[in-house]
């Protein structure tokens, strides 16, 4: 009959109690993932403890598709560290290296200038109009580790949304039709 025919036949044979059990199990899995994400946010001090490198601007240190693990502590940011930051009015965070740090003597505030390892010039052209430096509130975290190329799954699903919908649909169908 084939995979789709078997799946439809399996869906027809599901009893109400079994369907509720599977829906609750699926809800628990999703809830567990959200709880784990919030736990990582608390432990790392970063609003986004895991990010994917989306461009080639940090080669050779990081390749497109690498997953970075972030931490944002109270330690001062130093030149040479790799940080992830958000720019005002931009949705996608940027992964680049700190090249200059200015510490203000009268306060604990800092100004940071960044640059991609593979870029010719600093990031002032990427910053918001009129902005010359990043402040601490722009920085989401420091890179503390990475997994090479694992993030390509995210990039593929973002660039080709149909793949994302097919994958989500297939996983949902698998969750509904599983007999365990």
- The residues carrying an active-site annotation are 57, 96, 123
Reported as type and span, the H/E element at residue 119 is none
Which DSSP category does 178 fall into?
A: -
Number of neighbouring beta carbons within 10 Å of residue 87: 16
Phi, psi of 149 (to 5 degrees): 65, -5
Q: Please state whether beta strands 82-85 and 50-52 pair in parallel, antiparallel, or not at all (unpaired).
A: unpaired
Cα–Cα–Cα angle for 145, 94, 115, nearest 5°? 90
> Two tokens at 125?
């052209």
């Amino acid at each position: 009959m084939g995979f789709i025919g078997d799946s439809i036949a399996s869906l027809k044979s599901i009893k109400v109690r079994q369907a509720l059990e599977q829906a609750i199990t699926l809800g628990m899995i999703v809830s567990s993932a959200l709880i784990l994400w919030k736990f990582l946010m608390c432990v790392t001090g970063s609003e986004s403890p895991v990010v994917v490198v989306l461009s080639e601007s940090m080669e050779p240190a990081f390749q497109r598709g690498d997953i970075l693990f972030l931490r944002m502590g109270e330690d001062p940011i130093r030149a040479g560290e790799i940080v992830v930051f958000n720019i005002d009015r931009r949705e996608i965070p940027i992964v680049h290296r700190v090249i200059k740090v200015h510490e203000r003597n009268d306060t604990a505030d800092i100004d940071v200038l960044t640059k991609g390892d593979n870029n010719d010039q600093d990031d002032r052209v990427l910053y918001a109009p009129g902005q010359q430096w990043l402040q601490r509130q722009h920085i989401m975290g420091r890179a503390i580790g990475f997994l090479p190329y694992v993030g390509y799954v995210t990039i593929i699903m973002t660039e080709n949304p149909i793949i994302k919908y097919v994958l989500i649909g297939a996983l949902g169908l698998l969750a509904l039709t599983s007999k365990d």
